[in-house]
Structure 1
């Protein structure tokens, strides 16, 4: 059955309409001149993700294992009852996302690498955020998904996004430095999963009837996806780190295979080559790719009021590039890198605040939380 499904997917890819060729945007200089002013609001020990609450306050995770509730003025309150994490290398406490129903359910979702044999397992929990003056805690913690089997190296993925209707949760899972597993339908590695808000499998997933990992899989063939977000038009976009070259920005379409590790626009770290996407049209090719890499992290679409010319643009943090990247999109489904600004630090995550400001965090200890507003000068 699985072989027949794979053959059908290949035929659909070959016969389906193409969106155009991948565009190389890697070899560009970052501009030192920026149209915004960056103000430090707070600092953290290796911050990893930030998410806004409806009241405008933020939740910020630190990779070593802490979560903070942060006001817009930078006052920090440690969130208690955070699970233990396996913090080493690329692993640790990862993403945090606010429930689409937060005003009524008070829930937040958190991903982390849980200590276990062989390198830990990626885990997704759901909890109630309980707050009182000068206190915050995770209560009613539920493990709603965990990676099976456990083990692996870095490249955990772990990014959370909700669909525009707030009915489903999407979760990126990296290949954990075991490339071949990205093509194994029975392993939750190198996949994008689509879940119900309680972690169960939606009945309308492409292979829901198969159950297990395959039943939850939305797309496959990913390496290390650290960016996932819906555009204003409802299109889902994902970016992932390539090997030696070949960072990708992908338009996500259900039941597609994005090719890793069979194809890539980069090469192995050993220097050996990998067949390019153009040689295997049955695999979905990236819309944009970077070579040299920028090491993309964080992805947010802008619909605010402070920067009206940027509405509809996507913002991506660059770790290797120490930059903030702006991507624009056209009506034909294409994209281009419009701007790249030198931030002088590795940018781990980016978000849009309720007031229309851009917020970024630096991947460092201390790593700053910065609020970006227009440079009126």
Structure 2
């Protein structure tokens, strides 16, 4: 496990450890608190805003608002979170949305996109919790090849709850749409990145406290230790839990110290960009860059830092192998093309 944070900045022309990147293009601007990117098979893009808006953006950057969304509550860090078109979207028109639901916490709905409206909106999951705070909702979604849906949830600012088996705080759950839900892993603080690699392995990253942001290999039934073990400290500098390791709890594959406030995770396929194959791409809200990790996430080998990468909230690989990202500060969606 590595825990080195490389702070070398990149200058134009851009490179990532001598790996050139292509042109950065602004796809859309004027977004208010953008949170998530979802690609449609016709080349259009869906983007959520935390305040409860969903936009369809066409190839020319024109935006149309999608109506009919489930009600979300913008409270602290809560609001509308991820948008995920289903793998079978071309046939079913289905999308999944995660969001903070008033009086509940994190919830997920399934709907069908018909024109610029969601229809047949069905809630398929809501959090089991008694936490009422406005922090650490998680909210990232990923769909497995077999159609199983995975959702992250944070501890809601209630640290001990992440080890409480009666609550969903601090878990990643597996949802069989329309059939049922099961807790997949436990002991997470606030997972803000979730993705499958090309081999079907699920990965997540999560916020630590002061230091201790983690990348974890997600395996069914495992406990990732929060708040009993951590590589971070409380913001006061006080020790967290019992140390950095304990029997029965998983170790991170990688951790950052200082924290980068990670958000969004893409694991690149190498399509049209062979040098990026297997790379983990992690947005940083704190340091305004995209961290570039080796395959497996065990080492940071560089960063993409430009005037556009201000508070990166989401990172995705696009249909043609480009790197797409949302800048929360700039209120914009960007695409980085593979090098020519």
Instruction: Pick from 89, 107, 112 the counterpart of residue 128 of structure 1.
Output: 112
CA contact (8 A) 1:49 1:62 kept: yes
**Alignment match, 1:165:** 146
Q: Which moved more, 1:47-56 or 1:304-313?
A: 304-313
Within-5 A mapping of 1:26-65: 26=5, 28-33=7-12, 34=14, 35-36=20-21, 37-43=23-29, 44-65=31-52
Query: Does 1:285 pair with 2:248?
Result: no
- Report the CA distance between 1:306 and its aligned residue: 3.1
CA contact (8 A) 2:154 2:169 kept: yes
- Structure 1: gaps spanning 5 or more residues: 1-21, 202-215
**Alignment match, 1:143:** 123
Q: Matched residue of 1:103: which SS?
A: helix
CA contact (8 A) 2:83 2:98 kept: yes
**Alignment match, 1:301:** 267
- Structure 2: gaps spanning 5 or more residues: 15-19
- Report the CA distance between 1:198 and its aligned residue: 2.2
Query: Does 1:24 pair with 2:3?
Result: yes
Taking a change above 3 Å as real, the CA distance of residues 276 and 74 of structure 1, as seen in their structure-2 partners, is farther
Give the TM-score taking structure 2 as reference length: 0.92
- Report the CA distance between 1:375 and its aligned residue: 4.9
- Report the CA distance between 1:241 and its aligned residue: 0.4
Query: Does 1:347 pair with 2:312?
Result: yes
CA contact (8 A) 2:44 2:57 kept: yes
CA distance in structure 1 between the aligned counterparts of 2:338 and 2:142, rounded to whole angstroms: 27
Query: Does 1:320 pair with 2:286?
Result: yes
Q: Which moved more, 1:237-246 or 1:311-320?
A: 311-320
Runs of at least 4 residues off by over 6 Å: none
- Report the CA distance between 1:281 and its aligned residue: 3.6
RMSD of aligned Cα (Å)? 1.7
**Alignment match, 2:176:** 196
Q: Could you say which structure has the larger radius of gyration?
A: 1
Q: Which moved more, 1:191-200 or 1:103-112?
A: 191-200
Instruction: Pick from 325, 333, 340 the counterpart of residue 369 of structure 1.
Output: 333
CA distance in structure 1 between the aligned counterparts of 2:243 and 2:199, rounded to whole angstroms: 27
Deviation string 1:265-307 (CA, Å, 9 cap, x unpaired) is 0001122112576431421010110001111111111124332
For these two proteins, the number of residue pairs brought into alignment is 329
CA contact (8 A) 1:27 1:291 kept: no
Q: Matched residue of 1:181: which SS?
A: helix
Query: Does 1:360 pair with 2:325?
Result: yes
Q: Matched residue of 2:337: which SS?
A: strand
Give the TM-score taking structure 1 as reference length: 0.83
